[in-house]
Structure 1
């Protein structure tokens, strides 16, 4: 099942992320797809704000991953945009960050090829009518539970 939502601006994208903050439960992998500037990091910032994180949330474009230890679980925010080849996933030892107690949000997952774990949810962001559209699709039973929880 796919759900679509229109996000008029950055504030709407932050609120959208916050609305997902209680719907993501470990272990979980979430792919955030979309062109540069379509709201992937803003969505993640909203999720983290919804979970009570008050510190900075920056794009992990250069660091590859930013990890946030939260009371509920650890959220790892990956950005694979700068990967030159998929094997960089393995070279960086990123599999070590995946555990039964983490939610892993991955931007530009395609850059990691077959090394990136399969998603539970895929959120596809695109620019439209001066805002953004996000298409959400569940890829597993865990993803479907999260999508159902978010819709209700």
Structure 2
């Protein structure tokens, strides 16, 4: 699938806009579950984007990086959000021992940073989000499932309205 949309994210305000756009597009699919893979270099903004997604979905408290815990759970009114950071994962098999498959299901949104370190232990993504540093920072949201295509189309429409 090749459906994607790219946003410029030169400051926190634009990052917040992308996070809000994503959250609003994802929310109608919460019931069936949504999986997002976030990739990009260290410092590209994966955790910051996740923070804005969580806030738009209704989380009121602090959003901390799950770098050392591997996963931070958030229980919200509509369902659960699990924020993973697999950067420090030594062996993908560790995910099996922690019961990672239990996190993927209905009424769950999974935000997974450094998903490539999870090998074959992760469920397939609906969206592949790539954050890029450089002269111009950008965030590309790509669909990797039918559900993802629907979400990307909503993001594209919201981008055009902004």
Q: Of 112, 122, 140, which residue of structure 2 is paired with 1:116?
A: 122
C-alpha deviation, 1:34, in angstroms = 0.5
- What is the aligned-residue RMSD (CA, Å)? 1.2
Distance 1:78 1:53 in 2: 16
Partner of 2:160: none
Q: Of 107, 112, 132, which residue of structure 2 is paired with 1:106?
A: 112
Q: Do structure 1's residue 89 and structure 2's residue 89 form an aligned pair?
A: no
Query: How many aligned residue pairs are there?
Result: 151
Q: Which runs of 4+ in 1 moved over 3 A?
A: none
Unaligned runs of 5+ in 2: 158-162
- Would the aligned equivalents of 1:39 and 1:132 in 2 still touch at CA under 8 Å? no
- Would the aligned equivalents of 1:10 and 1:39 in 2 still touch at CA under 8 Å? no
- Would the aligned equivalents of 2:19 and 2:50 in 1 still touch at CA under 8 Å? yes
Unaligned runs of 5+ in 1: none
Alignment of 1:1-152 (within 5 A): 1-24=3-26, 25-26=29-30, 27-129=33-135, 131-152=136-157
Higher helix share: 2
Distance 2:13 2:39 in 1: 19
- Would the aligned equivalents of 2:7 and 2:18 in 1 still touch at CA under 8 Å? no
C-alpha deviation, 1:102, in angstroms = 0.4
Distance 1:116 1:51 in 2: 23
TM-score (normalizing by structure 2): 0.88
Distance 1:58 1:42 in 2: 9
Distance 1:92 1:51 in 2: 26
